[in-house]
Structure formats: structure tokens, C-alpha cells
Structure 1
Amino acid sequence: MNDKTSYYYPPEDAAKLAGEKKPSRRTKVSDVPAQPSSQPTPRERSRVVPLVAALAVGAVIGGASGAGVAFIFTNPSDGEIISSTSETQGITVNRPDSVTAVTAVAAAVSPSVVTISVSDAMGDGGTGSGVVLSSDGYVLTNNHVVTLDGSLSTPTIQVRDNNGQLFSATVVGTDPTVDLAVIKMDDVSGLQPIEWADSSKLNVGDVTIAMGAPLGLAGTVTTGIISALNRSIQIASTAAPEDSGSMSPDPSDPFDFFNFDLGPGQQLGGGATTSISIPVIQTDAAINPGNSGGALLDASGKLIGINVAIANAGSTDAQSGSIGLGFALPSNLAKRVSNEIIATGKASHGLLGAKVSDAANAEGSTTVGGRLEEISAGGAAEKAGLKVGDVVVRFNGYPVTDGNDLTALVRTSAAGENVTIEIIRDGERKNIAVTLGAFTG
């Protein structure tokens, strides 16, 4: 993976980045045709610039319509109303000799990012994003995108590529434990697969580029940096399996799944709510509802994460937008899970066989970590010699600051994986080798 953290490449390097992709629907910056001009006239532009988005109307259309979605904007000075459409538009490069790294990445990777529309038998639904895994149409996205957060078991799925072509798709397999899913586009070939980065080699401060379809606006590109690594968050979901986490969800937790852009009165998921604990990359790149399942890229255009959640700052507004706290599932996890789903239809997850809590909350505690409260008979923890009261402070080299961290790291490991756990027992640190069991929730 490219370790450079500069926002820009020299013009010749950026142009090279955009042009180094091979043929077969791969996009070169120099090959991107200019789009027919749809810019307002000078008089119109002067009225458009100060416009403030006031209201988004109409559901993002699911099913097979593929129509663009209109959004309403109002001019605060004279009340004039104009509309904007979410119809797919290619990445236009007007100055190939002086493109920035972000422009180059956007042009090169755009064919690997798609918009996913999901609907039920009544035609109600929402949209999300996805990344292309193979030339024949395997696409990775979030489980809550293809199931509308657990409310649909047999969705109608339509995929729109960056050229505006529409394809029907079916679900290959879902993994609600880490909120990932793979779908397969029908009758397609020659797609450009995303290129994977090694998420274990990322640094705080590295450039991030988010691509997807927020509010159904396909082809949207935003940039930022990696704000934090090795973060674990707990998210409420009606799609999550029972006992997917060892701790109860906190109603005041600010982390929510991206919300779909639904019609008036429509809501996601009608079942009981549980929670999942997941490890994430934190970024300040603007991520909004509809970016779910989309790409988080590095400065070389490789996939470092799948966008999954945003912080809502305690807001109860289902359509709250970016506040600079976005989260993505690391690419190494997404790659393992997607490969397993394609091969077998499902993914495996580790099980420690212990109930955990936050060590910092224990009476007289002087350390943070995941404290083992109960050990299951015959489980992985017992077999490894772990005991009640042990405080786990590292898991395979990753820091563990609370019970949520430990749960996330265990669940995102593969069943049967051999891991090393560093514990504190009676004031002494020890490394314990553990072979994880299989989570079957």
C-alpha cells in the first residue's frame, strides 16, 4: 500500500495514476469524455450559488425504475425553487495535465463503485452503495442495504453502474454479524473490480476518499483523513443475530447505521433490536445516508474500508448528516468475509466463550480492558486456561480498552483462528494462546 500521506501528487504522477488502469471498462483520466454542459447561464448561476438545501422530497426509487431522484432547494432571498437530479454522471476531468490525486482516484475508481436500489413487493425501499469485486458482477455492500436493516428477506435489487446502466441482482449471502453482504449482478461481464489495500498498514492522518451515493446522488466523492484506527463501536440493528455482542446496547449511543432515503412515514426494520460490535476505521471524510456499502479509499485508489456508520451526536433525526465522524469496516475484514460468502454463502466468526465487561468499571480497577466475568464450560477461554477476573488488554497485538473492543475483535476473527491474548492477572501480564470457537448466532 502507498504510505504517502500528501493530499496531492505532482500533475504528471496524478495523471499517471488515473491512466495506469488496464482496458476493459477501466477508466483513464485522459479518456473521460467531457459531459454535455448542464451548467446554468451566468444569470442563473448567480442565483444558484447561495442556495441552501432545505428539503429532500420523494423516496429514492427502488425496484426496476432506475429513475433519477429530484431534490428541492430553495433560495432564502426570493423563495425560488429549483431541482437537482441524482441521475448517474461520469467523473469529468477538465484539466488532465493538472489533476489532483483525488481527481485521479475518482476517475480511475468510479467504474468500481455502484449504486444499489432495494425495494419490497409494494415498491417501497431505499438506496445504498456497493463496490465491484469481480468482472462478472459480484458486489460487496452492507447487510442493512440489501435487507433494509432486516425488514426484507426477499428484496428486489437493482444495481446502477457509473455509466448509468441498470442490472438486476440477487443476494449471494449476508453476514449481519459484521453488517456485510454480497450480491451478484445478472448478465454482466467486463466490470472493473476494486483493488484491495492492506488495512493493517494504515496510519492516522492518511488521506481518505469516500465514494458512493449519499441521498441517491451517485458518483459523489468526498475527502478527509483517517482520524483514528482500532476503534470499536456498538450499533443497534434489527438485522443482527441474537447474542452478537456481549454487552447490552446503550440507547444513548451516538452510532447509527446510515439511514435510507425513504418516503414519508416509512421506517426500517420492524423487529426486535439487538446490537453488533464492530472494529472500524474512523474518518472525517463527509459520509451521509446512502453511502452505506460504498468505498473508502486511500490516496492510491485502493479500498481500505466499507462505509458502515456515522455518529449522530445524539440526534433523533433519522436523516441527520455528516458531522465529520464516519466509520468504515476495515478492508482486511471485508475481504475475508466477502471471499467466504462467495465460496460458501456465509462467513465464520470467532467465539471466546466468555462474558465480558469494562475493566475500568470494576471496583478498585487500575486498568482498562475487557474483564472476563463468566467462563463457558468447554469453551475456547476455558480450554486456554483463562479465568474469571482476567483483564484482556491486547488481542493479536490490537489494544483492548473495554469489553466492546474485545467482543468486536473476537467476532471479526474467523472461527478456529489461533490468536494471542495478553491479559493482566493478579497484577502480572501474561500472553495466552487461544483457539477461537465458532459463533453460530
Structure 2
Amino acid sequence: MTEPRDPSRGTDPQHTRPLPPVDGRAGERDPWARPLYGAPAGGEGPGGGHGSGSSAGPAPAGPAPAGARKRFTGGALVTGMVLAALVGAGTAAGTDALLDRGATGTAGGSAPASVIVNDQDEVNAVTAAAQKASPSTVTISVSAGNQAGSGSGVVVDDEGHILTNTHVVTLDGTAGDPSIEVRLDDGTVHPATVVGTDPLSDLAVLKIDAPGLVPAELGSIEDVNVGDTAIAIGAPLGLSGTVTDGIVSTLDRTIAVASSAAPDTPSEGDGGRTPGRDDFFFDLPEEGGGGGSSRGASESVYLNVIQTDAAINSGNSGGPLVDRDGRVIGINVAIASAGASGEAGNIGVGFAIPVDTARRVAEEIIADGSASHGYLGTTVSAAAAADGRSQAFSAGAQVQEVVDGSPADEAGLRAGDVITEFNGHRIEDATSLTAAVRELPAGGTGTVVYLRDGEQRTAEVTVADAAEQG
């Protein structure tokens, strides 16, 4: 979620006023102390991603592909709401994949101090968590030609690496070589370079040269429960240092966002053509590649996310979702909106990429400039619910085809099997399987649970590299 700003302001840091310093507590933290691959969160039908603000005004929605299925998976239910949100007049609640388009400029007014504590005797958990995490939260300004936008980010080490969303640094996939500035919590502004982007996870890493950085303390999804306090910190509508709180609504959600690959970054399976926001088809494919070559994969990115009711708005993209101890548990990425193209803003349904996934992707980008994603090698469709009569729900991903020599083939999967779980994620359809497989790195190992002739079976599978598949 990025906030569009007036491009006539250029890159002058004074277009938003700097914040006064705060007394952050750096401590001795190792942001990479957790295992690379945390416990997965499960998968359910997709909502939609919010994008980084770029050109002013919403673009028209693309046409829905033909042949939409009648049975609705969890994904298709929300997909219909997405489409209504884009082309309707706000008559139906829907996930807004273009969150940033609701605003047209940086909000005015004086920027408050990051975390003001007037009564030391009445500090609550939210105040303490925000005070701890705010020094590690940054505001990101991006411009390219006559387009500009802003988002948020998280400092992950003292070497200047900052984690954010790909759609923030590419202006929703429209900018291949943007000018980027980062404003720290103390108000200082620094030029930033892109270390690498990963459109399949909508994550990116920037780097700045600045002294005295305060790395965030990264938590783990393993320690998060539904109902836990969730605190979002960032720059919604350009208002840096904004703190909102709520709870973790669910750890079991899969959403669909548009690809935000930069124009010079070919997307998987599209022959080098990188679609913009207007090319995204919101009707989900009937068949999915389980992490490899699903129809529509070049237009759709599927993510397993944390859902929260903490207020998240345009400009929060890339910023942290933290727990009551100030540990980052997710990277804010999307919201649902009741208004056309997100104009209604937050309605209490926001999404964040789990920190375990973000940590793994950031590590790979910092080391290699890019991140890998798993490939299973199946063609699947939504499996009918157990009674076979439901038109509203699906109950797994039914294998239609297995690629010879693929990880799925080596694991013993075959046509007719119904995959119900992958690496701890509940699988309801092709979308949730794709998200779960791609969450693993190339060479990662997961457990697949499936039904064959009504009998439950389990197999271990080592996924291949999605980037190497045609």
C-alpha cells in the first residue's frame, strides 16, 4: 500500500515534514536468528493485494477470462468481490488490489513525533511496542518520470538493508529504474538503491548508507495466535509514524494480488511480457500449477498472509505488523475495501506477509539479489466438497496431471489425487496450493497430505525451482 504524492514536489524531502528523534532501544538483536522456514500458516481463498501508489486516477479493470467455473472456491468468492470493487459503485465489499488509488496526494499538516508518551505511569502495551518498533520503521518515497508514490519499510540490519514490498519500489510494476529516498524515524533522508525485488512474494530489499540504524526485532509466526494484539506502523496517506492496533484475525488466509514486476523484469511464464495493473484478470484460473505453471500465473501472485483488523491504509505497504512485544510478525501488503478502487479505505480487513516468509526472501535477496520459489509439477483444479453437492465450497486441489520427472512425480502423486494439506497449510483449491508451494525455496522440503480413493496418504516432496520451469 503506497501513497501517491504530487510529482511536482519532486524528491524534495520537505514534501513531508521530518519527525523529531525518538529514544529507540536497539539492544542486541539478531534479525536472522529464527530458522529460515517457520511453521506455515495454512491457506484459504484469496482476497486481494493493495498496490503502491503511482499514476493518478484508477485504470479500467481488465476483462474477465472466459470459462469461469460455477463452483466457488474460497478464492472465487472473494474474486467476485474484487471485481465488484473495481467496476461497481461500492455496492459490494471487496478486496482492493489497487489500494493506493484511493488517494491523490500527500496529506498536509504537521507530522507528529513518532511516539509521544506524556504520562509515563499509564504506558500500555501498544505504546511500548510502538516505541520499540518505530525506530526501525521508515517512510519510502519513489518517483519515476511523472509518477510518484510512497510506502513504508523495515530496517533489518545495521548494514542499511530495508525490507518493503516490490509494488512499492516499482510503483505497481510501472517503474524499472525509479529514484528512491528513505526517511528514517529521526527525520533524516537518505538515497536508496534496490538490492533486489521478488514479485512472486511482493517483497523487495533496499539499501541505504546511514549511521546508527536500529534493526527491527523479527518474531516468528510460530509464536502468533488468532486474537493476539497486532500493531501496524507506517505512513498511511503520507502520515509518517502512524500507529494503529487491533488483533490477529486469522493465520489461515490466501490472497491474490497483481504482479508488480518492474517493466524490465520478465514475469514467470509470460514470455517476457510483464503485465501492469490493468492486465490483471481477477477471475482466478480453474487450474493451477501448484507452484509452477498455472494459467494466469503471470497476472496473479498468490500469498499466504496474516489477516488483521488493525487499521491499514494506503502508504502502509511494506511497513511492519508487530506484536505486543514490538517484534515484527508481518509485512503489511493489502487491505479489503468496500469502496470502488479502495476509495473507502480501511474497513478492518488487512493482510500482512508472515515474517518467516519475509525473512527467508530477504536473506536470499541480500545474498544473491533474488529469491527462489518452489515448483511441484502438477496441474490441479478445485475438488468438490465431500458431499459432492456444494456449489459454494471446495475441499482440496484435485490433481489433473503430473509432469513426468517433476517433484510431484517423484513423490508418487498421480492424477485423481486430492491434495488437502501442503507443508502444514490447509489446501482448498489451486490457489492455496500454489501459494503454499511457492512459499518454499527451490530445494525446500515439504509434507503433502492427499486423498486417494478416499484413503489419506502422506508423502515428503523436495520442490524444484519455479524459475527454471518453462
TM over 0.5: yes
- Larger mean Cα displacement after TM superposition, 293-302 or 386-395: 386-395
1:382 aligns with 2:406: no
CA offsets, 1:255-302, max 9 Å, x none?
Answer: xxxxxxxxxxxxxxxxx9701010000000000010000000001000
- Larger mean Cα displacement after TM superposition, 198-207 or 234-243: 234-243
Cα distance in 2, alignment partners of residues 304 and 157 from structure 1: 25
- Larger mean Cα displacement after TM superposition, 394-403 or 315-324: 315-324
1:434 aligns with 2:434: no
CA offsets, 1:173-196, max 9 Å, x none?
Answer: 00000100000013x122000101
CA offsets, 1:318-337, max 9 Å, x none?
Answer: 44411111000000000000
User: Secondary structure at the residue paired with 1:85?
Assistant: coil
Change (3 A) 1:362 1:99: closer
TM-score by length of 2: 0.70
Cα distance in 1, alignment partners of residues 175 and 242 from structure 2: 27
TM-score by length of 1: 0.74
Shift in Å, 1:212: 0.4
Cα distance in 1, alignment partners of residues 5 and 281 from structure 2: 32
User: Secondary structure at the residue paired with 1:429?
Assistant: strand
1:126 aligns with 2:157: no
Report the equivalent of 2:161: 138
Kept after mapping to 2: 8 A contact 1:63/1:117: no
Which has the bigger relative contact order, CA under 8 A and spacing at least 6?
2
User: Secondary structure at the residue paired with 2:420?
Assistant: strand
Kept after mapping to 1: 8 A contact 2:7/2:143: no
1:203 aligns with 2:228: no
Change (3 A) 1:102 1:310: same
1:311 aligns with 2:336: yes
Q: 1:153 aligns with which of 176, 181, 190?
A: 176
Give ranges in structure 2 of 5+ residues lacking alignment.
Answer: 18-106, 271-278, 285-296
CA offsets, 1:208-243, max 9 Å, x none?
Answer: 000000011000000000001121111223538234
Kept after mapping to 1: 8 A contact 2:269/2:298: no
Shift in Å, 1:163: 1.5
User: Secondary structure at the residue paired with 1:222?
Assistant: strand
Give the 5 Å matches for 1:51-70.
59=6, 64-69=11-16
Cα distance in 1, alignment partners of residues 169 and 235 from structure 2: 15
Give the 5 Å matches for 1:28-427.
59=6, 64-69=11-16, 84-85=108-109, 87=111, 89-122=113-146, 124-186=147-209, 188-239=210-261, 241-243=267-269, 251=282, 274-313=299-338, 315-360=339-384, 364=388, 368-427=395-454
Give ranges in structure 1 of 5+ residues lacking alignment.
Answer: 1-55, 71-82, 254-271
- Highest CA radius of gyration, 1 or 2? 1
Percent identity reads 48
User: Secondary structure at the residue paired with 2:384?
Assistant: helix
Counterpart residue type for residue 161 of structure 2: Y
Counterpart residue type for residue 147 of structure 1: T
Alignment: residue pair count = 350
User: Secondary structure at the residue paired with 2:256?
Assistant: strand
Report the equivalent of 1:40: none
Kept after mapping to 1: 8 A contact 2:199/2:260: no
